[in-house]
Each structure stands twice: as structure tokens, then as C-alpha cells.
Amino acid sequence: MPDPDTTSRRPGAGRELWRRLSGRAARVFAGLHHTWRRSLQVRVVTITLVVSSLLVGGFAYLIAGKITSILLDNAKTDVRLRLTSGAEYAAKQFSLYSQPQEAQLQETIDGTVNYLAGGDPQQTSGVVVALTADGVGGMILPRSSPAVDFRPLISPELRAAVAGGNVANQIQTGRLTGDRDTKYLVYGSPVPTRFGQVELYYFVPLTLQDSTASQARTTVLLTGLALVLLLGLLAALVTRLVVTPVRVAARTAQRLSAGLLDQRMAVNGEDDLALLAASFNQMATNLQRQILRLEEMSRLQRRFTSDVSHELRTPLTTVRMAADLIFAERDGFEPSVARSAELLQAELDRFEELLTDLLEISRFDAGFAVLDAEPADLVPVVHRVVDRLSGLAERVGVEIELDVPATPVIAEIDPRRVERVLRNLVGNAVEHGEGRPVRITLGMDDTAVAVTVRDHGVGLKPGEEKLVFNRFWRADPSRARQTGGTGLGLSISLEDARLHGGWLEAWGAPGQGAQFRLTLPARAGDRLITSPLRLVPADAAVSFGATSTESQLAIGPGPDGALTVGPAKSVPEQRAEVAS
């Protein structure tokens, strides 16, 4: 009696075995599919082998069939000639008898059969000659040479055809003279006599024909297999000659894209592949020359900007001193002159601010910007920014709302740079707020701190999220240059965020305002993964619904510092956060 525990474990064991086999088969299939997709040489060789195998297999089948047909036709022709001659001979021998009961008839039949079989009843050629006389009432016994039971190999159809006076043949398989079944070509012919019709049969073994056809088939298949292997090897060699330079070109292109501009391909010979390598090297040389030229131009441009900014400092200081003196005495001037003094003072302020921003950008471009990180509380930093911009907010009629924790928000930051970033973000929000409130939110978690600045102005059009951090870019180019800053604020802010290892991202929708999010690591040098605050504002998720929010983009430096563009957040996430 089987163990119940063993019986109960069998289905689970079978499922586990099936699961393992399925997983192994899936891995093997995945590996083959991966190799098929990645290797041109494997695809070419495989296709060559499959197509050549089909062609060779079809050719072998046709050749073997043709050889078999020829051998069988030759055997039929030979047996038919022998049968015709034998039937004529038997008819002459039986023409002396008019009755089947005559005493010498049976001996004549035996002699005729032996003669037609070759004269030796014990011959070993395998051919069997038989004679029957079913139409004379069973008075003549069937005879064959050699003496065998041949009747099972005569089908009713063949017997009927011969009895009807026709010469007919069939291929039958049976055992006559040997110890195993053999394929026979059975030919039958009627022999007319005065006492009735006699049937003469030849049983010719097809062993030799089958052996010859089998040998021909084997020879053709082996030759075809060798040809297929040769074609596969030839395809592999030819493909390798073509693929190897392509692979070398791909590796060289990868090194070039990685910045190794001195990489070149080896040029061997004068064929098309050599021409490809030479053209590739020429292209790489031209690209290297252009890249170096552009780098030199960029370096000269940055140096020019830095030098001009520094050189303008000295005359600007002198002009500033004279302008301050004129501005201080403007009350004693005529109204038009006093207004000119005020305009001069304002434009000098803008010019000085532009020079300061250009110098800062040149430091970032030259890689000289240094982060002076120290543990600092972001709450007073946010308050200082709001206090500095409160006058501007009052003039344009914008209310600044604060949402900051009551407890300190400590992080390792450069307070000067963070304050500059927030000043740019809040200043832009106030200027573009269309008189509506601007909300500043400060949040933190265990790994990061974040500040969002939300306005309800004109917002950003689709695609402008990609341009908002570009230098000297404005959402509305037609606006007068008196409004807004230098056009470098957000670019400098983005560089400040990158210097901290943080993110500066933007979201916006036409007519629904915009929101900028600054995310910084709580400890200097840590890698950011998430932000404590969401980029898409909660009110935008409620008011827009699924259609609008799903199409918005966020742009900013990703975890690796590269500028990234992607969906701001999915609607289910937005609704879940709004609900919470």
C-alpha cells in the first residue's frame, strides 16, 4: 500500500519539476532570441543552413524518387519481356494437348515451369515462376519453381485481371524463398490452350533495386549534408569578413561618442570595406576638428565674457560714483534733467546686476564655482527672501503666502546660493503672478529639503518647460526689456542647484500658472532619490482633471545632474496626494 504522505507530495513535486523545466526552457529561448537579435552573423548562417537544407533535401528526394522509378521501370521491362517469351513457349508446349486429363500434361507443366525458371529448381536468383489453371476445374495442380506457396502474393485484383485475358502486374511484399519478407514485382499473363486458359506468373524480388535506390539516396543525402555544412561555413566566413569591420566601426563610434576623439579604424586593402573604414576615419577627423574648433570658440567666448565683465567693473565704478552724485542732487535740477538722473540710476542698477550675473555664469562655465556648505536653517532664509521682495510685491499688488514649518529645517547648504535661487524664483513669480497670490512652501524629510514657489499667472505653454532654464530666454519675446531681470537668473539658479547635488524643476500650464521646485540633499554629497514636496500643485490636479495634468512636463536636473524632461506626475498620484 503506498505511503499517503508520498502520494500527497507527488502532485506538488510534479508541478515543481514542470515549473523548473518551463523556467529553464524559457531562459534558453530568451538566450537564443537575444543571440538572434544581436548577431547578424548568426542570422545569416542560420538562414543559409535552413534554406540550403530545404533545397538539398528536396533535391535528394527528387533524385532518389527518379532513381527508384528508373530501376522499377527497367525491372518491369525485363520481366515483361521474359513473361511474353515464357507465355509463347508455354503455349507451344501445351498445344499438343486437348484435354486436361491427359497423362503427360502435368509432367509437361512441371518441365515448362522449370525451364522458364532457368532449368534448375534450386536456383538462387530469387525469381519464382508459377503456373495455375483455375479455369479448368481444378484438374491441373498449381506449379512453381522453386516450389513455394505463392498464392498469398497474388491479389484477387491481379488474379481477376489475368483471368480476364490481360497482362497485369503489382508490387507485393511477402515471404517466398527467404526467411524474411521481401518486396516482389508480380507479373501475370494468360496462356491460351485448347483445353482452357492457363495463367503464368513471374515473382521477381526487388531487393537489388531497393538496395541500389537506398544507396543512391544515402549518397545524395551525405553529399547534400556536406554541401550544407560547406555553405554554412562559407556563409560564416563571408559574413565574418563583412561583420567584423562593422563591429570595429561600432566600437570606434562608441569610443568617439565617449569623448575619445583620436580613435580610428584600421584600413586594410582597397576594397569596399577599406573604403568604408577610410570614409569613417575621415568623418571622425572632421568631427574632431569641428568639436575642437567649437570647444575653442566656446572657451574664447567664455573668456571674452569673463574678461569683458571684469574690465567693465572699473568704468562702471566711476560712472556709478558720478551717477550717485547726480542722483543725490536731482532735486535742484529741472524736471527733465531730474528724470534723466533717475533713469540713469535705474539702468546702472540693471547694468551692474547683469555684470554680476555674467561673472557668476563665467565662474560656472570655467568650473571655478565653489560650494561653501554649512548646516543652516532654511526658515530664516525663506523669510529674508520674502522681506527683500515685499516692496516689489506691494507695488504689483501680489500677496506672498508662506507655508513653512514651525520647527527649524536644517540642511547642509550654501545659504548665499540658496537665497539667490529663492530670490530668483520668488521674484519671477511676483512679476508673472498677474496680481494673484504667490505661495511659498517649505518641506523636508529624512534625506532632502524642498521649496516650491507657486504662482497663478499666465503659466507656461507646452514645450516651454524645456526652455525656461535657457540663458536669456523669455516666455514672451515681445515684452519690453524693462520688465524682468537679466535673463540669467534661472540659469544661475539651475547651476546653484546642481552645485548642491540637487534638482531645480519646473511645471506649468497655460492660464493656470506655474510652480518651481528646488530640492536639495539634507547632507552635502548625498544622492537625491525623491523630493519631500510634489512638483504638480494640488489645486492644479483638482481643477484640471485627467486630461490636462497628464500632459504636463517637468524639466530639471535628474539624479545624475543631467537635465531631464518627463511627466510631472500621474493623475492617480495627484488625486491620492490631494485626498491625503
Q: What is the pLDDT of residues 396-451, one digit of tens each?
A: 889 999 999 989 999 999 998 899 899 889 998 998 888 899 999 999 998 999 99
- At residue 571, the pLDDT reads 33
* pLDDT in the model for residue 442: 93
pLDDT at position 454? 93
Q: Which three cell numbers stand for residue 489?
A: 537668473
| pLDDT score, position 577 | 37
Question: Does residue 240 surpass a pLDDT of 70?
Answer: yes
Which residues are 191's β-sheet partners?
198
pLDDT at 258: 81
Q: Give how far Cα 166 sits from Cα of 86, 169, 197, 200, 386, Å.
A: 15, 10, 12, 11, 121
pLDDT in tens, 250-260: 888 888 878 78
Which stretches does DSSP call E strand in 196-279? 196-205
Using alpha carbons only, what angle is made at residue 324 by residues 323 and 326, rounded to the nearest 5 degrees? 65
Closest alpha carbon to 309 in 354, 350, 264: 354
Strand runs labelled E in 340-391: 374-377
User: Quick check: 116 pLDDT over 70?
Assistant: yes
DSSP string, 494-508: HHHHHHHT-EEEEEE
Q: Which residue has the higher pLDDT, 106 or 12?
A: 106
Task: Look at the alpha carbons of 83, 84, 87, 88 in this order and tell me if their dihedral is positive or negative.
Answer: negative
Q: Is the pLDDT of residue 156 over 90?
A: no
Q: Is the pLDDT of residue 536 over 50?
A: yes
Q: Which fold has domain 374-579?
A: Heat Shock Protein 90 (3.30.565)
Q: Hey, what's the cell of 426?
A: 520668488
Confidence of residue 471 (pLDDT cuts 50, 70, 90): confident
Residue 8: the pLDDT is 46
pTM of the model: 0.46
| Residue spans per domain, the chain | 31-258, 264-369, 374-579
Fold for the domain defined by 264-369: Helix Hairpins (1.10.287)
CB contact at 8 A, 521 and 502: yes
| pLDDT (mean) for 211-218 | 84
Distance CA 451, CA 385 (A): 12
Q: Is the pLDDT of residue 103 over 60?
A: yes
- Per-residue confidence (pLDDT) for residue 379, from 0 to 100: 93
Residue type at 457 in one-letter notation: G
pLDDT higher for 512 or 367? 512
Q: What is the CATH number of domain 31-258?
A: 3.30.450.20
Residue among 411, 338, 342 nearest 381 (CA): 411
CA 553 centroid distance within chain: 27
39-48, 322-331, 428-437, 468-477: lowest mean pLDDT where? 468-477
Q: Is the pLDDT of residue 223 over 80?
A: yes
Q: What's the rounded Cα separation, in Å, for the pair 36 and 46?
A: 9
Q: How confident is the model at residue 306 (pLDDT cuts 50, 70, 90)?
A: low
Q: What is the mean pLDDT of residues 329-352?
A: 83
Highest mean pLDDT among 152-161, 192-201, 381-390: 381-390
Alpha carbon distance 226, 454 (integer Å): 77
At residue 3 the predicted structure's pLDDT band, cuts being 50, 70 and 90, is low
Supply the pLDDT for residue 211.
Answer: 84
Amino acid in position 121: P
Per-residue pLDDT at 541: 52
